[in-house]
Structure 1
Amino acid sequence: MTAPHSIHSVEKLCAAGSELYERALREGGVPSRDADRAPCLIDFGLLQPGVENLRWLEPVAPVVAFHRLLRNVENRIADERRREAQLAEVFEPLMRLEGHPTTTPESTAISVLSGIERINLAVTEAMADASVEILTIQPHTSHTRASPELHATALGRDQAVLDRGGRIRTLYQHTLRHAPTIHARYEILRGDVEARTLDEVTNRLFVIDRAIAFIPANEDRTLALEIRTPAIVGYFVDTFDRLWHLATPMYPQAAQPPSSNGITQRQQAIAALLIEGYTDAVIADRLGMNIRTARVHIAKLAATLGSESRAQLGYLIGRSGILDQGQHEDPEQHLEQHPGQPPDRHPEQHPDA
């Protein structure tokens, strides 16, 4: 059995990835199946599907890849500096004003939280007295990863809730179903904790004791809303419960929907979005994967169905009947213990704010 591919950053390219990328540069490309042992090359944009041969991965020139990655870093820094200047311009004159006392965060039903650390602190404070139930939705995201210290904080606060007799339920996307670090996390936690997965989930959500909710307020998760309005929190709880009923169990017992005719469940989800006319970028976003990974799955789907073009692929999907498979599958059936499941080929996401 192949060992799980460890998660790493692009500046710490793994040995398998370096070897395969060098080989692709020398030979002009590699078969797509060879990238299974180094999926990081696709995630980092160092390999991409060939235009004429969907089963062939071509290397991106190192100088192109280097400047693209460097430009991403520079853009993030520039965005933060612009945001800092805009905030200073807005608040500097306001801070010189005197008048009636303003409301404090404790007195408002909806509060805006700024910064990852401030958001995590607010979640930790809200969970300090929680003893009933924590509901979370954790979509896959390529945005800012939490530090090991924040992961440790999240693990500690979750265990504290479980020790007080509380319950934790979490929804993930199928792309994170076999993520090794997520399973390792659940093996550490002791108590009433469950996880399920869906093809698509909503944006990130925390609901604490059905009284307080946290949701993102911008795309990169540096802003969040803390909500204490009962009607809104109740709406989030109802949405979560409906999604939970539709989801496939992952932990502590995992239901494994079988693939049919060589088509995996993930490829079925992609096929459904393809025939609706969605672009590769939209498909990737809705299913929680980056666009390069989505295109590799599309290429594998095309190869399985014998398609030679994008237009023909849509036609073959309609004729194949694969979208009719598993529509009435009961997620509680076919349960099996999770140990021994194969590792996922996508980055893990931890249940942090």
Structure 2
Amino acid sequence: MTTNSPIRAHPHAMAELCDAGKRLYATALRAGRIRRAEAEAAPCLMEFALLDPDPDDAEWLRPVPPTSALAQRLRPIEREIQERRTLANELSDTFEPFMAISAQDRPAVHSITVLEGGSRINAAIQVAIAECQSEVITVQPGGGRSEEIVTEAVKQSQRILDRGIRMRTLYQHTARHSQATIAYAEHMRQGKVEVRTLEELIERLMIFDRTVAFIPAREDRQAALELRHPGLVQYLVNVFEQLWQRAAPLLEEAPYAPSTDGITGVQRSIAKLLVEGHVDEAIARRLGMNVRTCRAHIAKIAAALGSGSRAQLGYLIAQSGILDPGHPK
């Protein structure tokens, strides 16, 4: 009698039977048995109980009929399915009384829903996109987007445009320095997409069909509010329309050209915020640029006005008249 060697587990599931196992199991079924030594090439056959020892000869193994093997494997799955069905029926019975209450004839409740986590926010936005029929309007503060983000925006925008939906987007003027953003606007201009820029914008905003809006609920943008109250949504639409009327089309000439004193429009905006007491980080965030660029503009303002210190700069800005409404631009 030979000594049985320990079975070596195969790193695969039964539903993914290896090629050697398939071949040897088929051979055993055709012949009615297979030598134990030959079956060692596929130890999974013993692990999955597809081969049993031959009671008459220890050197041979007999195949378990595939119908029996299948039934044995399906039995716990069918049991789990039955348990799931029972649980589903129990849940339906539990909530049925409340469904009846919800179905009563009453005015629709317009909600404000808090969405936490990027996945839940994106899922809600995707639902709104799928339900949208005519118009999408968005406010996207900050500077230019990366090529990866813009590429994804092109794909999503094209799917929306293919359904005949109009899109309007507001960026900040700093987006005009982003080649990826310009390329996006050029690519989309043949469709119903309009892109304009403004120096300062409100926080991020998305509105679909003037019936549902999304706004951030936290600075880290990991929480958002989904608004379906008609009054709130209409208020946000009105805010957008006022900004849109003041904005300049992205693909037209930049609205801030240098003035005769060498101070550009964006630098005047920075100067105004400096006089109001804002720090560099806050100014950069409001104007959609990085802090390094903001500080470079501040240095140019200081050089143009002959300022030797940050404290003196505020005084010189106020005395220079560059913030006066009638100052040349």
Q: Please give the TM-score of this superposition, normalised by the length of structure 1.
A: 0.57
8 Å CA contact retained: 1:131, 1:161: no
User: Residues 135 and 268 (structure 1 numbering): CA distance in 2 closer, same or farther, change over 3 Å?
Assistant: same
User: Residues 263 and 222 (structure 1 numbering): CA distance in 2 closer, same or farther, change over 3 Å?
Assistant: same
State the Cα distance separating 1:217 from its structure 2 match.
Answer: 1.5
User: Residues 146 and 114 (structure 1 numbering): CA distance in 2 closer, same or farther, change over 3 Å?
Assistant: farther
Question: In structure 2, how many angstroms separate the alpha carbons of the residues matched to 1:328 and 1:132?
Answer: 42
Q: Which residue of 1 aligns with 2:201?
A: 201
Deviations 1:210-233 (A, max 9, x none): 111011121111111111111110
Q: Which residue of 1 aligns with 2:320?
A: 320
State the Cα distance separating 1:166 from its structure 2 match.
Answer: 2.3
State the Cα distance separating 1:208 from its structure 2 match.
Answer: 0.7
Secondary structure of the residue aligned to 2:220 is coil
8 Å CA contact retained: 1:131, 1:162: no
Matches within 5 A, 1:1-353: 109-140=111-142, 148=148, 153-189=152-188, 190-251=190-251, 253-260=252-259, 261-324=261-324
State the Cα distance separating 1:328 from its structure 2 match.
Answer: 9.8
Q: Percent identity?
A: 50
Question: In structure 1, how many angstroms separate the alpha carbons of the residues matched to 2:328 and 2:224?
Answer: 37
State the Cα distance separating 1:286 from its structure 2 match.
Answer: 1.9
State the Cα distance separating 1:152 from its structure 2 match.
Answer: 5.1
Report the residue type matching 1:136 in the other structure: T
User: Residues 309 and 286 (structure 1 numbering): CA distance in 2 closer, same or farther, change over 3 Å?
Assistant: same
User: Residues 141 and 194 (structure 1 numbering): CA distance in 2 closer, same or farther, change over 3 Å?
Assistant: closer
8 Å CA contact retained: 1:124, 1:157: no
8 Å CA contact retained: 1:263, 1:304: yes
8 Å CA contact retained: 2:267, 2:301: yes
Question: In structure 2, how many angstroms separate the alpha carbons of the residues matched to 1:276 and 1:230?
Answer: 36
Question: In structure 1, how many angstroms separate the alpha carbons of the residues matched to 2:249 and 2:324?
Answer: 21
More displaced stretch, 227-236 vs 130-139: 130-139
8 Å CA contact retained: 1:126, 1:208: yes
Report the residue type matching 2:116 in the other structure: S
User: Residues 152 and 254 (structure 1 numbering): CA distance in 2 closer, same or farther, change over 3 Å?
Assistant: same
State the Cα distance separating 1:162 from its structure 2 match.
Answer: 2.1
Deviations 1:79-104 (A, max 9, x none): xxxxxxxxxxxxxxxxxxx999699x
8 Å CA contact retained: 1:168, 1:192: yes
Deviations 1:121-145 (A, max 9, x none): 3212211242322111111179xx9
How many residues were matched structurally?
226
Higher Cα Rg: structure 1 or 2?
2
Q: Unmatched 5+ residue regions in structure 2?
A: 1-93, 103-107
Q: Please give the TM-score of this superposition, normalised by the length of structure 2.
A: 0.60
Deviations 1:216-251 (A, max 9, x none): 121111111111111110010000011111222213
Question: In structure 2, how many angstroms separate the alpha carbons of the residues matched to 1:147 and 1:176?
Answer: 13
Report the residue type matching 1:303 in the other structure: A
Report the residue type matching 2:202 in the other structure: T
8 Å CA contact retained: 1:128, 1:157: no
State the Cα distance separating 1:111 from its structure 2 match.
Answer: 1.9
Report the residue type matching 2:226 in the other structure: E
Q: Which residue of 2 aligns with 1:337?
A: none
Q: Unmatched 5+ residue regions in structure 1?
A: 1-97, 330-353
Secondary structure of the residue aligned to 1:323 is coil
8 Å CA contact retained: 1:112, 1:223: yes
User: Residues 177 and 268 (structure 1 numbering): CA distance in 2 closer, same or farther, change over 3 Å?
Assistant: same
Question: In structure 2, how many angstroms separate the alpha carbons of the residues matched to 1:137 and 1:283?
Answer: 18
User: Residues 327 and 247 (structure 1 numbering): CA distance in 2 closer, same or farther, change over 3 Å?
Assistant: farther
Q: Which residue of 2 aligns with 1:10?
A: none
Report the residue type matching 1:225 in the other structure: L
Secondary structure of the residue aligned to 1:177 is helix
User: Residues 139 and 326 (structure 1 numbering): CA distance in 2 closer, same or farther, change over 3 Å?
Assistant: farther
Deviations 1:307-348 (A, max 9, x none): 11223222322233222368898xxxxxxxxxxxxxxxxxxx
User: Residues 198 and 276 (structure 1 numbering): CA distance in 2 closer, same or farther, change over 3 Å?
Assistant: same
